[in-house]
């Protein structure tokens, strides 16, 4: 009980000292506020980017492998001329792979056709991405439907004149009713809408079905050369549950080399891309950004800590005679130390709260400007407040200790 009473009195002393010197308190808070704001803002930005990236990866399928001409990653010495000579993934590759593979749950052949303007009566959507895919596209990608359904296997095989459209397209073309069952003209042909994708929004990789028009592959092959390199054909393989992705990739590699009749020792003329390739590279980037933010914020906090330490020495000097009176009346050394230490911690703590408040306001600004939800979670908040308390202890411990060691007689005589 005595300790709690002394702790309460220490907080009252500290609060009174901060109120009596408002300008000094405000200037002392500035360094800590900027430091905490910088560190937590960077960490929140990295968490937001990582979460956005993970959402993108989830759409791609985190256990899917893409058989393509070009690799997804490269460096300054990227041998583009080598990959330029490679053949595209074609229907023969797809059919042979489908027939031979044993570790796959599903395979799909997909192309990106073009950006087109889609119209329905007087309503128009510009920049709609027209794609085409085989029957198992819904098994190799992750998406939901706002209304309707995906193509049936029979519709895919026969190349039925049907389509799935994105949420934004449906909202713009059919603002007053359900799009399912309506007909739109795509690539000069009328197709019936059988499904509308759920709203996905923007993401870090630019992957979204919101403005997509998806056609059955066998419908598109009657209009264009679906094996042409200008459509970026790719084969997507999703492994069976319980089978490691490395095992699936190993089987695909062996089968593709066999399908393309590559002799032993010859380089692969295809790329096997996985979403982990993207996440690994971006994780390295996030680490650098985190370190840079920590260094910048650390310097700000360091300057703020020195400022608070200086202010605490000034505070000790101003209250030396009061310290002498307190000690002559029986105040223990730890009470004096606690009194000034709490003042330092309280000062930094308030600075941290202000810094976090500005980060919180920043999340609304980013949301309004970029339509991106910034992550400011409990971990970041507790981390910011912990940094504040630690800086408060470090900055205040020496002034507080020097105050607690003052001789009461000498302190009382000090003016």
Question: How distant, in Å, are the alpha carbons of 14, 55, 171, 204 from that of 368?
Answer: 40, 20, 21, 17
- Of 126 and 412, the one with more pLDDT: 126
**Residue 67 near residue 272 (C-beta atoms within 8 A):** yes
pLDDT at position 402 is: 87
Structure confidence at residue 20 (pLDDT): 66
Q: Name the more confident of 374 and 140.
A: 140
pLDDT of residue 377: 81
Mean pLDDT of 151-176: 92
Range 161-200 burial, b when 16+ CB lie within 10 A, else e: bbbbbbbbbbbbbbeeeebbebebebbeeebebbbbbeeb
How high does pLDDT run on average in the chain?
83
Q: What pLDDT is attached to residue 59?
A: 64
What is the share, in percent, of the chain residues with pLDDT greater than 70?
A: 87
175's tokens: 């603002």
Every domain of the chain and the residues it spans: 1-56+281-413, 87-269
Q: What digits encode the pLDDT tens for the residues 285-313?
A: 778 877 877 787 777 777 778 878 887 88
Closest by CA position to 66, among listed 235, 229, 230: 235
Confidence of residue 178 (pLDDT cuts 50, 70, 90): confident
More confident residue, 118 or 201: 118
**Inter-CA distances, 161 with 25, 77, 187, 345, 355, Å:** 72, 45, 11, 70, 57
pLDDT at residue 179 greater than cutoff 70? yes
In this prediction, residue 129 has a pLDDT band, given cuts at 50, 70 and 90, of very high
pLDDT at 184: 92
Q: Per-residue pLDDT for 346 more than 90?
A: no
Q: With a cut of 90, say whether residue 333 has pLDDT above it.
A: no
**Locus of tokens 């010495």:** 77
Q: pLDDT-derived band of residue 164, with 50, 70 and 90 as boundaries?
A: very high
Instruction: Give the pLDDT of residue 315.
Output: 76
Mean of pLDDT values over 267-283: 79
Bridge-based pairing of strands 162-165 and 212-216 is antiparallel
* pLDDT, tens digit, 9 for 90 and up, residues 197-244: 998 876 666 677 888 999 999 999 989 999 998 998 999 999 888 888
For residue 275, the model assigns a pLDDT of 74
Separation CA 224–CA 68 (nearest Å): 20
Instruction: Calculate ∠ Cα 168-173-176, nearest 5°.
Output: 100
pLDDT score for 311 = 78
- Average pLDDT (383-388) is 86
- Among 33-47, 56-70, 99-113, 134-148, where is mean pLDDT lowest? 56-70
The pLDDT tens digits for 244-258 are: 888 999 999 999 999
- Alpha carbon of residue 266 to chain centroid: 39
pLDDT by residue (tens digit) across 71-105? 887 666 777 788 888 899 999 999 999 999 999 99
355, pLDDT greater than 80: yes
pLDDT digits (tens, 9 = 90+) for 1-56: 555 665 566 566 666 666 666 666 676 777 778 888 888 888 788 777 777 776 76
pTM for this structure?
A: 0.67
- What is the band of 58 on the pLDDT scale with cuts at 50, 70, 90? low
* DSSP symbol at 224: S
Angle between helices 275-318 and 22-60 (to 10 degrees): 170
- Give the span between the Cα atoms of 108 and 101, in whole angstroms: 13
pLDDT value at position 192?
94
């Amino acid at each position: 009980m005595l300790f709690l009473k002394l702790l309460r009195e220490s907080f009252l002393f500290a609060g009174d000292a901060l109120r009596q010197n408002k300008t000094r308190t405000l200037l002392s808070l500035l360094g800590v506020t900027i430091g905490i704001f910088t560190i937590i803002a960077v960490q929140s930005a990295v968490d937001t980017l990582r979460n956005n990236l993970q959402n993108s990866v989830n759409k791609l399928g985190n256990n899917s492998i893409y058989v393509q001409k070009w690799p997804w990653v490269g460096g300054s010495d990227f041998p583009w001329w080598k990959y330029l000579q490679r053949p595209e993934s074609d229907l023969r590759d797809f059919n042979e792979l489908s027939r031979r593979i044993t570790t796959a749950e599903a395979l799909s052949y997909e192309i990106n056709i073009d950006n087109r303007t889609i119209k329905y009566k007087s309503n128009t959507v510009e920049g709609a991405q027209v794609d085409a895919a085989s029957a198992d596209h819904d098994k190799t990608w992750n998406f939901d439907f706002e209304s309707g359904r995906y193509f049936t296997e029979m519709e895919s095989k026969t190349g039925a004149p049907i389509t799935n459209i994105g949420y934004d397209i449906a909202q713009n073309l059919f603002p007053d009713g359900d799009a399912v069952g309506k007909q739109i003209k795509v690539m000069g042909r009328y197709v019936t809408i059988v499904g509308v994708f759920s709203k996905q929004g923007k993401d870090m990789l630019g992957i979204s079905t919101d403005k997509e028009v998806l056609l059955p592959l066998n419908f598109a092959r009657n209009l264009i050369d679906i094996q042409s390199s200008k459509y970026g054909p790719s084969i997507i393989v999703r492994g069976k549950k319980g089978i490691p992705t490395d095992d699936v990739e190993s089987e695909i590699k062996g089968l593709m080399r066999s399908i393309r009749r590559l002799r032993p020792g010859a380089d692969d003329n295809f790329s096997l891309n996985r979403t982990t390739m993207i996440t690994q590279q971006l994780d390295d980037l996030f680490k650098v950004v985190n370190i840079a933010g920590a260094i910048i914020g650390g310097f700000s906090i360091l300057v703020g800590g020195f400022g608070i330490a200086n202010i605490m020495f000034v505070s000790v000097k101003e209250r030396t005679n009061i310290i002498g009176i307190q000690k002559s009346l029986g105040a223990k050394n730890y009470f004096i130390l606690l009194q000034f230490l709490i003042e330092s911690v309280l000062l930094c703590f308030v600075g941290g709260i202000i810094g976090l408040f500005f980060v919180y306001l920043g999340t609304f600004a980013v949301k309004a400007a970029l339509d991106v939800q910034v992550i400011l979670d409990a971990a970041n908040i507790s981390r910011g407040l912990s940094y504040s308390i630690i800086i408060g202890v470090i900055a205040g411990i020496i002034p507080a200790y020097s105050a607690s060691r003052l001789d009461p007689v000498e302190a009382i005589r000090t003016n």
